[in-house]
Chain A
Amino acid sequence: MERGRRTDRIAGALLLLVSAGYGLEAWRLQADFLADPLGPRAFPLLLAASLAVFSLYLLVRPDPDPAWPPPHVLRGQLGMLASFVVYSYALAPLGFLLATTLEMAWLSRLFGASWRTGLLGGLGLAAALYAIFVFGLGIPLPLGRWWPA
């Protein structure tokens, strides 16, 4: 029983930390000029206090643990999240078409497609989206800063 309720205990402890950090940050707020009697601190402090109470409840009365994904799933998820971060930064320099094609191919591979199908599918989607956004709607997408215009 002790082992089976770790998730909520950890969540409760983390949330208690969040409420402390948030409350502290709210406490430090200083306004030079006030339009109203409450000021910028009152509402956040109220939120911090309620979160603290709720997370204590979670610590005291945790629910049974859910089934967390086994390591090979976690690896896949981390691989996907890492690619999101890379993609976010790669869009502007690489340009929409290349970055999206590569990102799609990588994700498709994580879901079991071959590089070839992944690349083809990715290129197809990127081209279609580019056509819709740029030619259809006139919304600019990055062309890539690394390539000569």
Chain B
Amino acid sequence: MKRLWKRGILAAILALFGGAFAFSPGNVECIAPANPGGGWDFTCRTGGKLLYDLGIVPRPVKVTNMPGGGGGVAFAHVVTQRKGDANLLVAASPATTLRLAQGKYGNFTADDVRWLAAIGADFGVIAVRADAPWKTLDDLIADLRKDPTKIAIGGGSAVGGQDHMKVLLLAKAAGIDPGALKYVPFDGGGEALTSMLGGFVQVFPGDASETIGQMQAGKIRILAVLSEKRLGGDFADIPTARELGYDAIWAVWRGFYMPPGVPDDAYAFWVEAMKKLEASPEWAKIRDESGLGPFFKGGADFEAFVKKQVADFKELSRALGLIK
């Protein structure tokens, strides 16, 4: 009771003195729905740190790792037990929307939470060994068209996961039967990449950030990036798949959602906070250093983007025979 009363006064003061938002953050928590070491953990730890460094939140953001179910455990926890908690952010990515689309979060859907913003993105790439016979994406597609069973594609995710979806999308864009592709799932991009270096698989549909080291060393060749526009830095010379006539885009966006029932003033505050974070030079620095590219969508934009992505993924997964 006392807390509510205090908050009321605070809100009143803020409203009086021109504060645009009645909400002010308290002890903010960010849930990374996986163990340390992955993209979600990165999103929470760097995002949380920047929110504090930029003075957007009063105290350091508490990062909680809640692994399980490919993010499903955290999703269920947030929907059922944290309703209306305006101090809670949860890290998300296309892995979240893909699993929602494929029904891997039980009965939960994308409508169950409030989608906040995406602040950056990694992009899919199609990589082969430097000594592979394929110099361009067209070469590879031509051979895949001839006999898809001859080429083993090793990705870092399970069947139906992100790396698998990338090649399925590409095959679909090229008019190849996606079901005929030979996809071999590995535990993470690193293992898949090693397997390609060892010659056990021939193609690695990874992310730009995973492949940059081996590309610089000249051990692998990147045939195309799956982004809308060309990427910067070392990737500037590499064409996009779209340029080459294959409409396949895979943006591994990094973003957040919030629990259902978060008041609109708080939601507006957080959208604004994410805008500020995304525009900061500090974030630009970390983003570039981590191999991510700029990508921002916030608030209603992001809600619409996510809902559309889930619908697209659902249709695609169904068309590809991944779900019924």
Contact = CB atoms under 8 A, between A and B. Distances in A.
A35 B159 CA distance: 7
A98 B241 CA distance: 58
Contacts, number: 26
Interface in A98-149: 140, 148-149
A35 B184 contact: yes
A68 interface: no
B323 interface: yes
Nearest to A140: B62
A140 B64 contact: yes
Given A35-B159, A35-B183, A35-B184, A148 B3 contact: yes
A133 B161 CA distance: 35
A32 B62 contact: no
B163 to A, nearest CB: 12
B146 interface: no
Report whether over half of chain A's contact residues are helix, strand or loop; otherwise say mixed.
loop
B320 A33 contact: yes
Interface of A: 32-36, 140, 148-149
Interface in B277-324: 320-324
B260 interface: no
Contacts of B185: 35
A148 B3 CA distance: 8
Interface residues of B, number: 20
Contacts of B324: 32
A36 B2 CA distance: 61
B160 interface: yes
Nearest to A32: B321
B136 interface: no
24 contacts: A32-B321, A32-B322, A32-B323, A32-B324, A33-B159, A33-B160, A33-B179, A33-B320, A33-B321, A33-B322, A35-B159, A35-B182, A35-B183, A35-B184, A35-B185, A140-B29, A140-B62, A140-B64, A148-B1, A148-B2, A148-B3, A149-B3, A149-B26, A149-B27
B159, B321, B322 pick with most chain A CB within 10 angstroms = B159
B169 to A, nearest CB: 15
A34 B160 CA distance: 10
A34 B29 CA distance: 40
A34 B184 CA distance: 10
Nearest to B27: A149
A33 B184 CA distance: 12
Contacts of A140: 29, 62, 64
Given A33-B159, A33-B320, A148-B2, 4 more contacts: A33-B321, A34-B159, A35-B185, A140-B64
Contacts of B322: 32-33
A32, A33, A140, A148 pick with most chain B CB within 10 angstroms = A33
A33 B2 CA distance: 56
A23 to B, nearest CB: 23
Contacts of B183: 35
A36 B154 CA distance: 13
A123 B312 CA distance: 54
Contacts of A148: 1-3
Contacts of B26: 149
Nearest to B63: A140
A33 B182 CA distance: 11
Contacts of A34: 159
